[in-house]
Amino acid sequence: MTVRKNKILVQRYYDEMWNTWNFALADELLSAEISFRGSLGAEVRGRSAFCEYMRRVQNAFPDFHNKIEKLVSEGDQVVARLQYTGTHRGEMFGVRPSGKSISYAGAAFFRIAGNRVAEGWVLGDLVSLLRQLGAQTLPKATN
């Protein structure tokens, strides 16, 4: 797969799957054995576990949006600089829904294999997010 096609895959991952909550695209865009670490504390393996993670995010932020600010690709690797936005409508990190709008920055690192996302590691500015949610303590890692 070319560098350009890898970037298009990651663009689709965000625009067509995450930003529209299109779980049906998981089979097309994700490796069956995807290994993923999300910035909201989860480490998952496999498409089903990945979709469960997406649903947890969706429950907390139904209008969650990933805005790609920059994509860089080399070989089988793609890096995205992102801005995340949403409205806090469900519990997250033990903080009850506040109705607050949130916005925070992040970066995501992907490895592409077999024309699908095989690995993802997302680093978001959790300190900023926790402040916006009004969290009083740091969350414990979850799986």
What is the model's pLDDT at position 119? 98
pLDDT tens digits along 99-110: 999 999 999 999
Domain boundaries, the chain: 3-133
- Per CATH, the architecture of 3-133 is what? Roll (3.10)
Residue 38 near residue 31, CB atoms below 8 Å? no
Hey, what amino acid is at 44?
V
pLDDT of residue 99: 95
| Mean pLDDT for back-to-back runs of 10 residues, the chain (143 residues) | 91 98 98 94 93 95 98 97 97 91 97 97 93 77 53
Q: What is the pLDDT of residues 27-56, one digit of tens each?
A: 999 999 999 999 877 899 999 999 999 999
